[in-house]
Amino acid sequence: MHPWNGPILESLKKGRERMPHALLIHGPRGVGKLALAERVAQLLLCEHADLGARPCDKCDACRWYLAGNHPDFRRVEPEALAKAPPEPEEPEEGSEPAPARRAKQPSIVITVDQVRALADFLNIGSHRGGTRVALVHPAEDLYPNAANALLKSLEEPAAGAMFILVSHRPARLLPTVRSRCVAVPVAIPPADVALKWLASQGAEDPKRWLAFAGGAPLQALDYAEEAADWDRLLKSPGLVDDRDSLERLAEALQKIAYDRAFSAFGVEPKYKTGAGRATQAKARAWLTYARTMGENRALTRHPLNPRLFSADMLAGMRDLT
């Protein structure tokens, strides 16, 4: 877990005996919410005799959890984020093998079948006689019918069941889901703390990439590790042919647009993209374009023609320059 989130964990440890049945850990992307949620899950499952020493990393429960096979823990996330891809279905004994089909793309949403399987897990007895923990990440990726299925479990929680939802955009969750969770906000850490951590990770030019990440240290580390690619994209954005590159392009254009708008208003550019200055007359147009790119970043996750979409985004920028 990351050092700036230590006080949040300590606060949850002190209130462990009064822990609600559902937590919603939320905040900007790249501030360590998932690592905090995983540590909270381990805290709930740890069996060390001294409550103050939990999570201990030494008991059987901690070792099972850290190895990824604790019987009372389930992690629910889109297939595209899962550490291991879902195994293909085996044909029944005696049946002919199915004809070869094109490999199915991993889902980018949490499906209703995943949530139903989670309900089955929560409604059986605990293997260790303690808490059963379900971690849902990121919660805003719940498909609508999956969100409704999860809501039912939150409204009528099984005895001894604990939910930990992690969200980058809690406003996209059903209000009824949010209302049944105790919110745990995770803020962007102070810049000096983030820079010290980035330096300890060996990140080059941490100040620049922390600015580009809007102050989020984990996101900044990712940017620093791919600095050459980002530099090339920021200097010369062009057409792309795949969904991942399309999302990256939309992000780069959005941050370039914000920096140009800030400079036009006489404000220091926030993201340090190296974008040229804009005239004050076009300041609001750049802000509008930046908001459009923010909407496009969400749209890039859906099946579409990346080349045509990227051409449209680039055309919008050319109209402003």
Kindly tell me if the per-residue pLDDT of 17 is higher than 90.
Answer: no
Stronger pLDDT, 37 or 126, i.e. the higher one? 37
**Rounded to whole angstroms, how far apart are CA atoms 166 and 170?**
9
Kindly tell me if the per-residue pLDDT of 128 is higher than 80.
Answer: no
The structure tokens listed for 257 are 């647009």
Q: Mean of the pLDDT values across residues 123-134?
A: 83
96 within a domain of the structure (yes/no): no
68 within a domain of the structure (yes/no): yes
Q: Please write down the long-range contacts of 237-244, taking CB distance under 8 Å and 24 or more positions apart.
A: 237/314, 237/317, 238/310, 238/314, 239/307, 239/310, 239/311, 239/314, 240/306, 240/307, 240/310, 241/306, 241/307, 242/306, 243/300, 243/301, 243/306
Same domain, 113 and 43: yes
Predicted confidence band at 82 (pLDDT cuts at 50, 70, 90)?
A: confident
What domain count does the chain have? 2
Structural domain containing residue 150:
3-84+104-185
Same domain, 231 and 156: no
Single residue among 135, 155, 185 that ends a domain in this structure: 185
Same domain, 64 and 158: yes
CA distances from 39 to 181, 220, 263 (A): 18, 22, 41
**In the block, residue with structure tokens 């990439």:** 209
92 within a domain of the structure (yes/no): no
Predicted confidence band at 208 (pLDDT cuts at 50, 70, 90)?
A: very high
**Rounded to whole angstroms, how far apart are CA atoms 40 and 25?**
10
